[in-house]
Structure 1
Amino acid sequence: MGDGGVDYDNEVVYYCEEIDFDTVSGAIFILIFIFSVIGNIILACVLFIYEKMKNVTNLFILNLACSDLVFTFTLPFWAVYYLHHWVFGDFVCKFVTAANFLGLYSSIILLTAMTVDRFITVVLHNWPGSQLKRQRCAIAGCAAAWVISIGASVSDAVKVQVETYWDNRSYCEATSDSSDVNLGYYLQVSLLFFLPFAIIVFCYSAILKTVLQASNRKRYRPVVVMFCIIAAFFICWGPYNILIFIQAFYEPRGCNAKERIYIAHSIFRILAFSHCCMNPLLYMLSQKLRRHLLQLLRCQKAQRKSTDKGAGQNTSVIQNAAFIAQNSAVILELPSK
């Protein structure tokens, strides 16, 4: 595709043919929504039924599943948006944007809190001492994660509204491109993404060093699962956030450059949004959770068989009762001698 432009007062304005990647994005978002809802609900059920919620790790995992579900429920709106245009109005635009950022921010803060908890347990050994104190710290960390995430997501939602352009298509997007607004946004992204990333890298470097020096590595097997979960988050969300950060300082010139940025942005957005359905798969690396999942499925099958068996027994009892009643009626009708 060649570049074409018109020179207005020594400033070139390019008119480019746009590639329709939005249709592919919308279709993939629907699939992600289905897999994420099923996976995270099953994970939450397994935790509630078979695991002790006083366990700190399970508490973090449950909050992460809730965070993923909050993010997941925004996907149908974005799917319709990319397949058609924004048809839900201004309030839903702000609400969905807030929920979208709430899921993102709460995930990264919860992952950071979980990493710090692992660091304290593995590297510093049993500080702050008792299990009760550790549990209270975890609850406080989860509550702080949601409060901070809600505040940050609301500030993002205030900046968006529905705009209708010349083609009668409505768009849910930020209303201001001023440098102050952009600076505030990128400062927020830095504090809520790159800073937690630095904390997590530091903590897991110390954790891996301790694990490699330990004689009994099986004891630290859950650390490997947590490491995979955190690595998956940054593999999914890292490229998308880095590209957004780069776009703040780089303005593409020409149609080819704009096309490459657009394709990269679309692919990285799909990768980032797909993260919400990956955590349940990664949690299945844990043998205990896999065993609980099989128990849950077997329990459902057993209940179904028990129900069918009970229904059959009830039918037999009813038939026997009817037969006995019929014989009794015949006996009563016999003439007495």
Structure 2
Amino acid sequence: MAMSSDDYDYNILFNGTENMTPENHHDLTTFQVYLSVCSILIFCISMPCNSFMLWVLLRERAWKITSDVLLLQVTVSNLCFTATLPFLACNALHGWIFGEWACGVTRGLSFLGLNSSALILTTMTLHFYFTVVQPSCFPGQMSSKSRVIVASSVMWLMSAAASIKLAVNSRVISFGNMEVCTIWIESLTILFIELNMEIWVFFFIPFFIVTFCYIHMWIVKQDRVNSNPQPSKVISGVTAGFFFCLTPYNIHTFVESLIIVGAIEYRVVWGHLMSHVVYVTFTLSHLYPCLNPMFHMFRVQRFRRHIPMPCITSIKRMDGATSDTTVQFMSLNNTDV
């Protein structure tokens, strides 16, 4: 039997917190502090690193290279998500003090960064896949660039539409002794549909596409991938890291959606289990914006040469003639690969 709206608290799905009751007040307070500290730490790492990535890409006119257009968009997506973390920390620790309008904007921007990152990374993988497996599909770099720009526009429109819908459903509600910004949907059936659309469109379907592409490239076309090992490791690491970080969160949310409609019987033990699992899912789901700049700053020479560190000089000598192009693995010109 499905639960009523009075039996279920939506905050565990969108905020990682359970309903504030005398029995779990201490645990909730502990998690609020944990959530705030993690959010600020991730913000302090992700914001400067992604800003550095954006600066390098704009400085080197990244929009002229097809593959860098996608990398530039991933960086912008990460910045959109990262910019909301201080507000999330304040929301968890002190309540929402910025007003109803800012609540919707913050929630919408957060989901925009999350959803667009999944779609853009999937497009990067598909671009890499067709370059390696079916290079004849793209007759030229300019043709590919036009297609990527069109595909990017569609992805951002899809992400924006989903994010706006969630932003409209954002509310500042009383939660214990303070007000918090959260996603609030009155009907549990509508909530179940919204959650599953979000999970499948922006996670599971991209996950299946990426998995197929890499299995096909690494097993069927292994000789082509290995001919350019370092760049493939960079994009593989970023993509694998993204899905690794988001998988626990999406599985957790999917299980919660099944509890909503009564497919899984709700028990008190589930509530205690979720309250502990959310420590892991929250941390991983908010850590992914740090992965892209970390991989590129320490693995790609074009970014390392802009870092004023003494060890960079020795690393450059070890690299020798290594290419300094960020993502030439997706270039369609064989001379670039």
The reply to whether TM is greater than 0.5 is yes
For the residues of structure 2 that align with 1:45 and 1:171, how far apart are their CA atoms? 32
Query: Which residue is equivalent to 2:132?
Result: 122
| Number of residues of Structure 1 aligned to a counterpart in Structure 2 | 282
Query: Which residue is equivalent to 1:106?
Result: 116
Aligned with residue 217 of structure 1, among 208, 226, 241: 226
- Unpaired segments of 5 or more residues in structure 2? 1-20, 260-264, 311-337
Say if 2:92 and 2:180, in contact at 8 Å, map to a contact too.
no
Q: 1:218 to 1:166 in 2, by over 3 A?
A: closer
Q: 1:257 to 1:15 in 2, by over 3 A?
A: farther
Say if 2:170 and 2:181, in contact at 8 Å, map to a contact too.
no
Say if 2:298 and 2:304, in contact at 8 Å, map to a contact too.
no
Aligned with residue 248 of structure 2, among 228, 239, 258: 239
- TM-aligned CA deviation for residue 103 of structure 1: 0.3
Q: Is residue 288 of structure 2 the alignment partner of residue 275 of structure 1?
A: yes
Aligned with residue 149 of structure 2, among 133, 139, 147: 139
Deviates further, 75-84 or 123-132: 123-132
For the residues of structure 2 that align with 1:55 and 1:210, how far apart are their CA atoms? 28
Q: 1:47 to 1:297 in 2, by over 3 A?
A: farther
Say if 2:172 and 2:180, in contact at 8 Å, map to a contact too.
yes
Q: 1:170 to 1:132 in 2, by over 3 A?
A: closer
Deviates further, 239-248 or 141-150: 141-150
For the residues of structure 2 that align with 1:166 and 1:71, how far apart are their CA atoms? 27
Say if 1:90 and 1:161, in contact at 8 Å, map to a contact too.
yes
Query: Which residue is equivalent to 2:267?
Result: 253
For the residues of structure 1 that align with 2:193 and 2:283, how far apart are their CA atoms? 25
Query: Which residue is equivalent to 2:325?
Result: none
Say if 1:160 and 1:174, in contact at 8 Å, map to a contact too.
yes
For the residues of structure 2 that align with 1:110 and 1:297, how far apart are their CA atoms? 31
Q: 1:218 to 1:16 in 2, by over 3 A?
A: same
Q: 1:168 to 1:58 in 2, by over 3 A?
A: closer
* Letter of the structure 2 residue corresponding to residue 230 of structure 1: T
Q: 1:129 to 1:30 in 2, by over 3 A?
A: same
* Letter of the structure 2 residue corresponding to residue 225 of structure 1: V
Query: Which residue is equivalent to 2:174?
Result: 164
Q: TM-score, normalised by structure 2?
A: 0.77
- TM-aligned CA deviation for residue 230 of structure 1: 0.5
Q: 1:260 to 1:209 in 2, by over 3 A?
A: same
Query: Which residue is equivalent to 1:154?
Result: 164
For the residues of structure 2 that align with 1:115 and 1:182, how far apart are their CA atoms? 30
3-state SS in 1 of match to 2:172 = strand
Aligned with residue 306 of structure 2, among 293, 297, 300: 293
Root-mean-square deviation over aligned CA pairs: 2.2
Deviates further, 44-53 or 155-164: 44-53
Q: Compare CA radii of gyration and give the structure with the larger one.
A: 1
For the residues of structure 2 that align with 1:16 and 1:259, how far apart are their CA atoms? 11
Say if 1:211 and 1:220, in contact at 8 Å, map to a contact too.
no
* Letter of the structure 2 residue corresponding to residue 144 of structure 1: V
Q: Is residue 327 of structure 2 the alignment partner of residue 284 of structure 1?
A: no
Say if 1:50 and 1:292, in contact at 8 Å, map to a contact too.
no
- Unpaired segments of 5 or more residues in structure 1? 1-13, 299-337
3-state SS in 2 of match to 1:164 = strand
3-state SS in 1 of match to 2:40 = helix
Say if 1:225 and 1:285, in contact at 8 Å, map to a contact too.
no
For the residues of structure 2 that align with 1:82 and 1:195, how far apart are their CA atoms? 31
Say if 1:237 and 1:272, in contact at 8 Å, map to a contact too.
yes
